[in-house]
Amino acid sequence: MFYDRIFLTSLIIGVWASIKIFEELLPEKALNYLPKPFALYAILVFVVAMVIHTILLAIAQKRKQRTIPECKHFPSIDILISIHNEEKVIGPTIENLLNINYPNYSIYLINDHSADSTKEILDKYEQLYPKNLKVIHRLDNNISRGKAAALNHVLRQYSRGELIAVFDADAKVEPDYFLKMVPYFTGESVAAVQSQKRVSNPTVNYLTKLQENEYCLDNYLQCGRDMIEGNVELRGNGQILKRNLLEKVGFFDEDTLTEDLELSTRLIINGYQVRFCPETMVLEQAPTNFRALLLQRLRWAEGSLRRYLSNISKIFGPSKATSLSQQFDTFVFLSQFAVPIWLFLDVISEIVRYVKDQETHMTSLMLISLAIWLITCVSLAFGIRIYRGFSWRTSIKRAIETNIYFLSVWPVIVLLTVRKVLFSRTKGKWHKTERYEEAGVNS
């Protein structure tokens, strides 16, 4: 944590100071061709990178035809579910997973310090299906809590499957889920495969509808990254991992806020590949109120930023194991954090200039903000069109309304996350997303 704070502070202040010094040292004649402020050029570099990245993903998904291999080999799969107070959803999830059409899999249900009726529900299902289910109760207050700790415990003590599938307690999948995922494990370097993630409750309210659109964007970006051999990321739910490679990199990190994102980066910097399977999906409940959504996204953002701060030298350094495509993908991802910070600092700077009756550049900042909004909107429209099958008119309409929400919330999340990393002595906390029973869920 101390390293994260020092590194991020040095990065922000160092780059900002370098730009200001460069402005002062540049000859007056050069300023006729490169007018101040130079901070705008830094933002433009990020924006141009985002434009190029968007074009590359669109071209890759348009030109490349995905070949769906047939599943001819059936390695043993252990399904692991870490469960904490999930009495409302775990029953239907178990029944859903028992219906998977695959010849060789087992299910491990890990009760991680639940205080509701989860224990009784799990014991009931274990009695009904003793050959298929194994329940592990972790109720001792002296043992570590959390998803990563629960998964590691079972991986070390019980599980022996060749592949490890990780699901959340509210997951729902299609019967042929494994038959579509397993064929992606071609080649020794493929360490993990992530499926689509989709929202199971998009019609609850307007917020869950917007999140459904947002998930379409994520699937679109994940598929594009897979095609350009960029950084496909694990999403915690609906991921399958090779056990032997998971052991090589040291299992899950129990200290991180986002064990899935951290593991994705660790696999990549160790020379392994994460693939994306768009042919199947896992459904999960989206937060139904803004507070729950904000807490969830703050955790995702902080965990994501910290894993890059810890590994940035391994991604871009001289002894890097990452490809040029993966480095560019990382740079564009980090731009999503950098641009809101730069814009925030520049707006403050421009306000000061205005108060001092000096020339301002607010028009340039507004144009840059508009460009970023349009870039995101294009990707959203493509994602909604591909993964929801709507007409272009409906896809564009949904993209616009989702983009208003997304780009209104994201800058706030970034600023709060940076403030947390810079000034807080503790990491963020995991807040459980409240579940509810869904009527008419197919088991």
- For the stretch 2-22, pLDDT in tens is 666 666 666 666 666 666 665
328 domain residue, yes or no: yes
CA distance 119 to 429: 24
* Residues forming beta bridges with residue 240, ordered by sequence position: 165, 193
Q: What share of the chain is helix, strand, coil (3-state, %, to 5)?
A: 55, 10, 30
364 domain residue, yes or no: yes
CA distance 379 to 60: 13
CA distance 379 to 293: 22
161 domain residue, yes or no: no
- By CB atoms closer than 10 A (0-12, 13-18, 19+), residue 3 is exposed
Q: How many domains does the chain have?
A: 1
Residue 67 has pLDDT above 80, yes or no: no
Ranges 84-93, 98-107, 283-292, 316-325: which has the least confidence: 316-325
Q: How many helices (H) and strands (E) does the chain have?
A: 14, 8
Render pLDDT for 373-404 as a digit per residue (tens, 0 to 9): 899 999 999 999 999 999 999 999 999 999 99
Residue 70 has pLDDT above 60, yes or no: yes
> Average per-residue pLDDT in the chain?
87
Mean pLDDT of 345-356: 76
CA distance 243 to 77: 10
* Residue predicted with more confidence, 48 or 283: 283
41 domain residue, yes or no: yes
* Residue predicted with more confidence, 367 or 301: 301
Per-residue confidence at 442, pLDDT binned at 50, 70, 90?
Answer: very low
* Residue predicted with more confidence, 407 or 345: 407
388 domain residue, yes or no: yes
Q: What is the pLDDT of residue 17?
A: 64
215 domain residue, yes or no: yes
216 domain residue, yes or no: yes
CA distance 198 to 357: 51
Q: What is the pLDDT of residue 64?
A: 62
104 domain residue, yes or no: no
Per-residue confidence at 443, pLDDT binned at 50, 70, 90?
Answer: very low
* Residue predicted with more confidence, 71 or 198: 198
Q: What is the pLDDT of residue 440?
A: 53
Residue 355 has pLDDT above 90, yes or no: no
Ranges 6-15, 73-82, 349-358: which has the least confidence: 6-15
**Nearest one of 368, 432, 375, 377 to 404, comparing CA atoms:** 377
Which tokens sit at 155?
Answer: 């991986």
* Residue numbers of the domain that contains 227: 1-67+185-443
| Secondary structure of residue 80 in the 3-state scheme | strand
CA distance 284 to 276: 18
Per-residue confidence at 52, pLDDT binned at 50, 70, 90?
Answer: very high
> How big is the CA angle at 194 (ends 199 and 67), to the nearest 5 degrees?
110
Mean pLDDT of 69-81: 90
Per-residue confidence at 408, pLDDT binned at 50, 70, 90?
Answer: confident
Q: Are 81 and 169 in contact (CB under 8 A)?
A: yes
> How big is the CA angle at 253 (ends 250 and 255), to the nearest 5 degrees?
145
Q: What is the pLDDT of residue 422?
A: 80
The secondary structure of 251-313 as a DSSP string is S--TT-S-HHHHHHHHHHHTT-EEEEEEEEEEEEPPPSSHHHHHHHHHHHHHHHHHHHHHHHH
Q: Which residues contact 405 (CB under 8 A, 6 or more apart)?
A: 210
**Nearest one of 77, 95, 89 to 168, comparing CA atoms:** 89
CA distances from 80 to 134, 135, 236, 295, 332 (A): 10, 10, 11, 25, 33
Q: What is the pLDDT of residue 2?
A: 60
Render pLDDT for 164-189 as a digit per residue (tens, 0 to 9): 999 999 999 999 999 999 999 988 89
Neighbour count for residue 426 (Cβ, 10 Å): 7
> How big is the CA angle at 178 (ends 173 and 180), to the nearest 5 degrees?
100
Which tokens sit at 309?
Answer: 């701060």
Residue 162's identity, in one-letter code, is: E
